[in-house]
């Protein structure tokens, strides 16, 4: 069995296990777990914050207006959903789409790290403030770091982390669409750069601990899209 097939099977097995997750109180109000979707062997992985209403109903991330804009931005660089993998930090929708609570992050982030470990993307693009601060382990907001790649350890691999504005930001502020398009235009070259990174296998616990610690330093209003 090829490595790609093994990876796809392992990811599906983990998705099946996660479908019944009861680690936090969000399980009580969800319609279903929104695990993630796309190519299990993708070089490019997008990470957002949490499912919204439509995602919770259909079980697929980024299917609303922000998702349509994401599809358009991907098409501009010659990609489509089947080429990438997309997931959220949280797999269940918070009530009224509020910001995730720290205990929800603590309960759910290992699911995301396991996804990254199985998919082994070369480039991880974070969409919005929340995912960017969580995965970078730094409190810098998206307005300061968007379009600025950085090498980080995620799971067992060294990857390029590439912060982007959340597509929903351009829906609220149309002038941001130009910025998003410019940042997306760099993605193909960054994937090529990421080929040169050497995977490393540090202890998972050591990598995850400071990630959550960085989020605890943030004010709730700082999370989200901008």
- pLDDT tens column, 117-152: 999 999 999 999 989 999 999 998 899 999 999 999
The pLDDT assigned to 2 comes to 78
pTM (predicted TM-score): 0.88
Between CA 153 and CA 157 the distance in angstroms is 6
Instruction: Compute the chain's Rg from CA coordinates.
Output: 16
Q: Are strands 85-88 and 37-38 parallel, antiparallel or unpaired?
A: antiparallel
**Cβ neighbours of residue 19 closer than 8 Å, sequence gap 6 or more:** 32, 33, 35
Strands of 44-48's sheet, edge to edge?
A: 37-38, 85-88, 44-48, 123-127, 157-164, 150-154
Closest by CA to 218, choosing from 108, 142, 126, is 142
Residue that has been written with the tokens 């982030």 in this structure? 109
Is 45 within 8 Å of 127 (Cβ atoms)?
A: no
Between CA 83 and CA 44 the distance in angstroms is 8
Q: What fold is seen in the domain 3-222?
A: Uracil-DNA Glycosylase, subunit E (3.40.470)
Q: Are strands 150-154 and 157-164 parallel, antiparallel or unpaired?
A: antiparallel
The residues spanned by each domain of the chain are 3-222
Residue 77 has pLDDT above 70, yes or no: yes
Q: Could you report the per-residue pLDDT of 151-198, keeping only the tens digit for each?
A: 998 867 788 999 999 999 999 999 999 999 999 999 999 999 988 775
Q: Could you report the per-residue pLDDT of 23-73, keeping only the tens digit for each?
A: 999 999 999 999 999 999 999 999 999 999 999 999 999 999 999 999 999
């Amino acid at each position: 069995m090829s490595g790609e097939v093994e990876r796809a099977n392992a990811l599906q097995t983990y998705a099946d296990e996660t479908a019944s997750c009861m680690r936090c109180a969000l399980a009580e109000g969800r319609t279903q777990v929104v695990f993630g979707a796309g190519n299990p062997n993708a070089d490019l992985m997008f990470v957002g914050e949490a499912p919204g209403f439509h995602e919770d109903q259909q079980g697929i991330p980024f299917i609303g207006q922000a998702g349509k804009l994401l599809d358009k931005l991907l098409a501009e660089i010659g990609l489509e959903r089947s080429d990438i993998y997309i997931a959220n930090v949280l797999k269940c929708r918070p009530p009224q789409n509020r910001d995730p609570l720290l205990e929800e992050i603590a309960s759910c982030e290992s699911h995301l790290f396991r996804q990254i470990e199985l998919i082994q993307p070369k480039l991880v693009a974070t969409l919005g403030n929340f995912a960017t601060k969580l995965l970078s382990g730094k409190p810098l907001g998206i307005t300061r770091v968007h379009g600025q790649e950085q090498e980080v350890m995620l799971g067992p691999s060294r990857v390029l982390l590439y912060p982007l504005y959340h597509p929903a930001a351009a829906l609220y502020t149309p002038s941001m669409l130009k910025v998003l398009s410019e940042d997306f235009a760099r993605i193909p070259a960054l994937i090529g750069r990421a080929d040169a990174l050497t995977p490393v296998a540090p202890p998972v616990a050591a990598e995850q601990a400071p990630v959550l610690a960085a989020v605890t330093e943030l004010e709730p209003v700082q999370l989200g899209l901008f």
